[in-house]
Amino acid sequence: MTEFLTASQLRAVESAAISSGAVTGLELMERAGQGVVEAIFETWPEMAGQNAGGAAPRTPRDISSKRKRAVVLCGPGNNGGDGFVVARLLTGLDWDVQVFLLGDAGKLPPDARRNHDRWCGMGAVTPLSARAFNACAQDNPKPTVVVDALFGTGLTRGFEDLSGVRRMLCDWHAEAGAPQVVSVDIASGLCADSGRYLGRAGQEPSDYMIAANLTVSFHRAKLGHVLADGPAASGHLVIKDIGLGPAEADGYVRLARVAPGRLAKGAGGHKYGHGHAVILSGGAGRTGAARLAARGALRVGAGLVTLGVPPAAQMEVANGITALMMTRVEDGPGVARVLEDGRINALCLGPGLGLGRAGDLVPVALAARRACVLDADGLSAFAAEPQALFSKLHRDCVLTPHGGEFARLFPDIAARLTVPATRGPAFSKVDATREAAARAGCVVLFKGADTVIAAPDGAAAIHAASQDRAAPWLATAGSGDVLAGMIAGLMARGLPAFEAAQAGAWLHVECARTFGPGLIAEDLPDMLPAVFRAMGL
């Protein structure tokens, strides 16, 4: 995955391909259905029999002597057309297939209607209702696979009228030998742009959700696959190429990434050639967070890292550092004095700084116009008057709020994320982060398993710690302090703010994945050498 698309962006790509004559809508539908079948057999090889296109089972005993059975739920649009293709292809592989249709066949789009009619030459179509679906469940063997082709990326409302169907799928999930649920393009009920379930205010998501074991999407991943409820709803995500060509356009959200060449150190370099970062610390008993940030900055490659420490904490810090340096910073004039050294080119303020100390030091530090990361207390100190902070920020700043800190600085934007999503496309974390970056005038990294990074010009990237990048061990005290320090160290090395934030988010998760269970924040910086070696640096 290199880009994430919205539903409208995908429609534009499809329309351009069809208008150019490169492909027809019917061909795209056929390729999508074939992609779903391929993904099913790739994910569960034991479902592939001798007629399944050569996909072999793991062992002979994995294959049941009984016919495999699929229930395919087709919706009223082109997603339903994909479902009819899947049904036809599975039947051709000697599966027992039962097809349900939500809506009127006569109102299907032309390509979906063509595939409906082709299926009708092979099998029946049952109108979908909770009663019909429950009768199917009671009168037939439990299916091997349920294909959710009800609603795709164009869904704009919840589908509350099928709560019985959803409940049956949820019940099956809880049982031994439950069928595998495969969603076509995106789990039905999920907003493709926000990853939020669409439904009525006051409902629980479980009232109107379909959660897939496997989601097969096409061309590119959608924002909704990686934001909010998307990862949990999607299960294993597979992207199939259906021949739409490159997906390059302004406004696309990119995958947060790091260019290895930007992190290498060439022969003959000098420590000052890789920058000097200063991390400001809190008082006695509150220096741990700053030391974590400083170690992150040093390990990521900053040439020098200095801790700015108040007098009462100097002995405490001196006893706990070696390669890190220390200087006395008592107040605002102390910050200004330190920054007279023009070789200091990056700052990190906030981890363990204390609200009062942050309120005094941050304005002075920002006035020096050095690259700057603001985290934790460096953000919360301005909760009462966020504009007082925004007026001092510049484009070489990175704000790294978690959800609570984001809500303190951008309460109106955060409130829109908590309003129930009743219509789509719903307001998303990408929308929120872009608005916040435009208001602040600098890069904002909105932390979470679905970290979003946005620049004032609207450029955005996502680092999703889900699927094969899941890193639940990062839910530990101090991990965010290390991230702030890594970004400051990367900016000291000369990476622009937006690039440094992306690289920091990627490296932070890669360190956690390299260490694994049992991780504490102190472990993160010390994983960077192994990560760099794996990158070939």
CATH number, domain containing residue 185 = 3.40.50.10260
Do 234 and 284 fall within a single domain?
no
Decide if 369 contacts 394 (C-beta within 8 A): yes
268 in a structural domain: no
How confident is residue 476, by pLDDT bands cut at 50, 70 and 90? very high
Do 108 and 214 fall within a single domain?
yes
Do 137 and 207 fall within a single domain?
yes
pLDDT at residue 208 greater than cutoff 80:
no
76-129 pLDDT per residue, tens: 999 999 999 999 999 999 999 999 999 899 999 999 999 999 999 999 999 988
How confident is residue 134, by pLDDT bands cut at 50, 70 and 90? confident
138-152 pLDDT per residue, tens: 888 889 999 999 988
How confident is residue 53, by pLDDT bands cut at 50, 70 and 90? very low
Q: Return the DSSP state at 189.
A: T
How confident is residue 63, by pLDDT bands cut at 50, 70 and 90? very low
How confident is residue 247, by pLDDT bands cut at 50, 70 and 90? low
Provide DSSP, 472-519.
GGG-STTHHHHHHHHHHHHHHTT--HHHHHHHHHHHHHHHHHHH-TT-
H or E segment and range at residue 97: strand 96-101
147 in a structural domain: yes
Give me the pLDDT at residue 423, please: 84
pLDDT: which is higher, 530 or 154: 530
pLDDT at residue 66 greater than cutoff 90:
no
Do 174 and 121 fall within a single domain?
yes
Decide if 7 contacts 14 (C-beta within 8 A): no
419 in a structural domain: no
Residue 110, Cα to own-chain centre: how many angstroms? 35
234 in a structural domain: yes
pLDDT at residue 471 greater than cutoff 60:
yes
Distance CA 461, CA 115 (A): 37
263 in a structural domain: no
Give me the pLDDT at residue 328, please: 97
Give me the pLDDT at residue 420, please: 84
Range in 191-200, 207-216, 398-407, 513-522 with the lowest mean pLDDT: 207-216
Cα torsion at 143, 147, 151, 153 (round to 10°)?
150
Summarize the confidence of residues 473-499 as an average pLDDT: 97
Do 124 and 161 fall within a single domain?
yes
Percent of the chain with pLDDT over 90: 76
Give me the pLDDT at residue 536, please: 93
Distance CA 519, CA 479 (A): 10
232-243 pLDDT per residue, tens: 999 999 999 999
How confident is residue 62, by pLDDT bands cut at 50, 70 and 90? very low
Give me the pLDDT at residue 262, please: 86
Decide if 341 contacts 365 (C-beta within 8 A): no
Give me the pLDDT at residue 331, please: 96
Give the tokens for residue 200. Answer: 């009525």
Q: Which of 223, 254, 285 is the last residue of a domain?
A: 254
52 in a structural domain: yes
Do 227 and 288 fall within a single domain?
no
Q: What's the number of domains the chain is made of?
A: 2
Do 278 and 233 fall within a single domain?
no
Do 331 and 218 fall within a single domain?
no
Is 346 strand, coil or helix? Answer: strand
Range in 158-172, 370-384, 506-520 with the lowest mean pLDDT: 158-172
pLDDT at residue 65 greater than cutoff 50:
no
pLDDT at residue 50 greater than cutoff 50:
no
pLDDT at residue 286 greater than cutoff 90:
yes
Q: Which of 254, 287, 315 is the last residue of a domain?
A: 254
pLDDT, the chain, mean: 90
Give me the pLDDT at residue 367, please: 97
Summarize the confidence of residues 183-193 as an average pLDDT: 93
Give me the pLDDT at residue 196, please: 92
Summarize the confidence of residues 249-254 as an average pLDDT: 80
CATH assignment of the domain containing 437: 3.40.1190.20
392-429 pLDDT per residue, tens: 999 999 999 999 999 999 999 999 999 888 888 999 99
Give me the pLDDT at residue 470, please: 92
How confident is residue 207, by pLDDT bands cut at 50, 70 and 90? low
pLDDT at residue 1 greater than cutoff 70:
no
303 in a structural domain: yes
Q: How many CA atoms lie within 13 A of 189 on its CB side?
A: 24
How confident is residue 436, by pLDDT bands cut at 50, 70 and 90? very high
Summarize the confidence of residues 490-517 as an average pLDDT: 97
Do 342 and 440 fall within a single domain?
yes
Q: Which of 222, 254, 286 is the last residue of a domain?
A: 254
266 in a structural domain: no
Do 303 and 333 fall within a single domain?
yes
Range in 41-55, 83-97, 336-350 with the lowest mean pLDDT: 41-55
pLDDT: which is higher, 227 or 266: 227
| Domain range enclosing 50 | 3-56+64-254
Do 125 and 182 fall within a single domain?
yes
Q: Return the DSSP state at 28.
A: H
Nearest to 202 by CA among 151, 246, 158, 251: 158
pTM across the whole model:
0.92
Do 230 and 294 fall within a single domain?
no
Distance CA 320, CA 289 (A): 12
203 Cβ partners below 8 Å, 6+ apart?
158, 160, 420
Give me the pLDDT at residue 56, please: 39
How confident is residue 137, by pLDDT bands cut at 50, 70 and 90? confident
